[in-house]
Amino acid sequence: MANLLLFNKPYGVLSQFSDCDGHPGLGHYLKQPNVYAAGRLDHDSEGLLLLTDDGKLQAIISNPRHKLKKTYWAQVEGEITQPALAQLIRGVKLRDGITQPASAKLIKPPRLWTRNPPIRQRQNQPTSWIELQISEGKNRQVRRMTAATGFPTLRLIRVAIGSWTLGNLLPEQYRWETIHISDTKHHRFRPKRSKW
Catalytic residues: 42
C-alpha separations of 143 from 157, 165, 167 in Å: 11, 21, 23
In single-letter form, the type of residue at position 19 comes to D
What is the rounded distance in angstroms from the CA atom of residue 56 to the CA atom of residue 51? Answer: 12
Q: What are phi and psi of 95, to 5 degrees?
A: -60, -30
Judging by DSSP bridges, how do beta strands 127-134 and 70-77 pair with one another? antiparallel
DSSP letters spanning 36-55: EESS---TT-EEEEEEES-H
CB 174 within 8 A of CB 8: yes
Count the Cβ atoms, other than its own, within 10 Å of residue 112: 15
Give the type of residue at 21: D
Count of all residues that appear for the chain in the document: 196
Q: Which residues pair with 71 in a beta bridge?
A: 133, 160
